[in-house]
Amino acid sequence: MVIKSDEEIDLIRISSLMVSKTLAYLASILEVGLTPYELNLKAEEFLKDNKAIPSFKGYRGFPSALCVSRNEAVVHGIPDKLPFKETDIVSIDCGAYINGYHGDSAYTFAFSEVSNEVKDLLFTTKESLLRGLAILKAGVRQGDLGFEIQRFCEDRGYSIVRELVGHGLGKSIHEPPDVPNYGKKGKGLIFKKNLVIAVEPMVNLGKKEVIMLDDDWTIVTKDRMPSAHFEHTVCIKLEGCDILTSFDPIEKSIEKNNNLINI
């Protein structure tokens, strides 16, 4: 695990806030009829205008700046040309690289006619992330964080994806350690001060099993029921953690966009 200097953390904060700004911009233009393909072009333009490089484009051959994962898609959706519908939920995952460092964040958006059942899935996923971060500080173990997220989601009847986990990041978009969204208290590696990690619960309405589509990227639920995904980049401190990305600008954009509802 790579421990960062305070100077490096300031640089990761800049990249992280760029991701939040990009997601907030995308939240302002999301509308029924728009396609993920068009949305991705807008994101690439926005990042370029802000002198940021998309972290995901070209990563292991991934073709776009954004992962756009709709409804039963969990993560790693390749932006397609199917227009968004009023009943869709869509996870947008974005990474930005500036001055040698990456930031990473994801938010699942709900269009205006999403069912109450699915809205609760989104609320629970986001809340599980915040509850996990609330206990995170130096000395906490992988299993402690995972347990907190898993317990909250499973108590509400949802399931946690096992195959995909959060990760360290900095000079690379994916660094050790793994940050699972499940686990047992007191187990696993101990998080240290100035470790930067992306915490990103992926939570399913139905069963936990997932499969990969033939495009070799998109992960979908095996039972094809909806899945939600929220992600923050955070820095671990002696007391608590410093959340380097922010949902505030995103939620301000959602508030002003009649196509979307705030969860």
Q: Write out the residues near Mg ion by the rule CB under 5 A.
A: 93, 104, 106, 198, 231
Q: How many helices (H) and strands (E) does the chain have?
A: 5, 16
Residues 6+ apart with CB under 8 A from 85: 32, 111
Residue 169 Cβ vs Mg ion, minimum distance, rounded to whole Å: 7
Q: Kindly tell me which of 2 and 32 has the beta carbon lying closer to Mg ion.
A: 2
Q: Is 128 in contact with 201 (CB distance < 8 Å)?
A: yes
Indicate the residue type of 244.
L
CB of 12 to Mg ion, least distance (A): 13
Kindly report the number of other CB atoms within 10 A of residue 54's CB atom.
Answer: 23
CB of 174 to Mg ion, least distance (A): 7
- Ranges of H-type helices in the chain: 6-29, 36-49, 116-135, 142-155, 248-256
Q: Starting at the edge strand that comes first in sequence, how are the strands of the sheet with 241-243 ordered?
A: 175-179, 166-168, 196-199, 232-236, 241-243
Of residues 33 and 63, the one with the C-beta less far from Mg ion:
63
- What's the min distance (Å) between Cβ of 66 and Mg ion? 10
Contacts of 152 (CB under 8 A, 6+ apart): 124, 127, 128, 131
CB-CB contact of 103 with 200 (8 Å):
no
Q: Please tell me what DSSP assigns to residue 60.
A: G
- Report in angstroms how near the CB of residue 179 gets to Mg ion at its nearest: 9
Give 72 or 104: the residue with its C-beta nearer to Mg ion: 104
Both tokens of residue 108?
Answer: 């699942």
Nearer to Mg ion, 90 or 198 (CB): 198
CB of 74 to Mg ion, least distance (A): 12
For Mg ion, give the closer residue by CB, 144 or 231.
Answer: 231
Q: How far is the CB of 115 from Mg ion (least distance, A)?
A: 26
Of 104 and 144, nearer to Mg ion (C-beta) is 104
**Rounded to an integer, what distance in angstroms lies between the CA atom of residue 47 and that of residue 58?**
15
Q: Which of 87/172 has CB closer to Mg ion?
A: 172
